[in-house]
Amino acid sequence: MADRSLRGIRLGAQSLQSEEGVVFHERAQHIYTCATCGRDTTLTFAADADVPPAWECRTCGAEALLRVGDGTATVDHSGDKIPRSHWDMLLERRTIPELEELLEERLAFVRARRGATQDAVDKISA
């Protein structure tokens, strides 16, 4: 049992594997330039990978475009979906009068749970 102990090795801190005989895949670096802050971001992709024309800027979060030669790539946003809010999705299912009716029902329920009557609410608001 003494010959199998790992005395003197920090487990998890160091890898016991070596890079001997490992062949790395060919890589290519591409530069993205942010239109907002002007910063360049260099990313490494596999040489045969499809490189996206736009990337999110690491500094400001805006769209950074792929630099091609002396210029930058263009991105067509005509097919992008416009994000919908919760309100937009709610209005697809209900009309404003239906929502007002539901609101009144829920307010009546909450008031009944609290023990407040409509007369007491009217006195407070007056």
pLDDT at residue number 123: 63
pLDDT, mean of each 10-residue run, the chain (126 residues): 59 72 89 89 92 89 86 75 90 95 94 73 60
Residue 31's CB: how many other CB atoms inside 10 A? 14
For residue 97, tell me if it sits in a domain.
yes
pLDDT at residue number 125: 61
For residue 3, tell me if it sits in a domain.
no
pLDDT at residue number 27: 93
Strands 27-34 and 63-68: antiparallel
Supply the range of the domain harboring residue 98: 86-125
For residue 17, tell me if it sits in a domain.
no
For residue 29, tell me if it sits in a domain.
yes
Burial class (CB in 10 A: 0-12, 13-18, 19+), 34: buried
Nearest to 39 by CA among 23, 6, 9, 62: 62
Q: How many domains does the chain have?
A: 2
pLDDT at residue number 67: 87
Please state the pTM of the whole predicted model: 0.49
For residue 1, tell me if it sits in a domain.
no
